[in-house]
Amino acid sequence: MDNQLRNKKYLDYVNKRLPKTKWFPSLLWAFLVGGIICVIGQGIFDAGTALFDFDKETAQRYSLIILIFLASLLTGLGVYDQIGTFAGAGSIIPITGFSNSIASPAMEFKNEGIIFGLSVKMFTVAGPVIVNGVAASILVGIVYYIMGVV
Residues 84-96: tens digit of each pLDDT: 888 888 888 878 8
Summarize the confidence of residues 61-75 as an average pLDDT. Answer: 94
Confidence of residue 133 (pLDDT cuts 50, 70, 90): confident
Distance, CA of 28 to CA of 86 (rounded, Å): 11
- Residue 107 pLDDT > 70: yes
Confidence (pLDDT) at 115: 74
Confidence of residue 44 (pLDDT cuts 50, 70, 90): very high
- Residue 79 pLDDT > 90: yes
Confidence (pLDDT) at 14: 87
Contact at 8 Å (CB) between 32 and 89?
A: no
Confidence (pLDDT) at 1: 56
Q: What is the DSSP string of the chain?
A: --HHHHHHHHHHHHHHHSPPP-HHHHHHHHHHHHHHHHHHHHHHHHHHHHHS---HHHHHHHHHHHHHHHHHHHHHTTHHHHHHHHHGGGG--HHHHHHHHHHHHHHHTGGG-IIIIIIHHTHHHHHHHHHHHHHHHHHHHHHHHHHT--
Residue-wise pLDDT for 16-41, tens only, equals 888 887 889 889 999 999 999 999 99
Taking the model in full, what pTM does it have? 0.71
- Smallest Cα–Cα separation from 62: which of 32, 80, 40, 92? 40
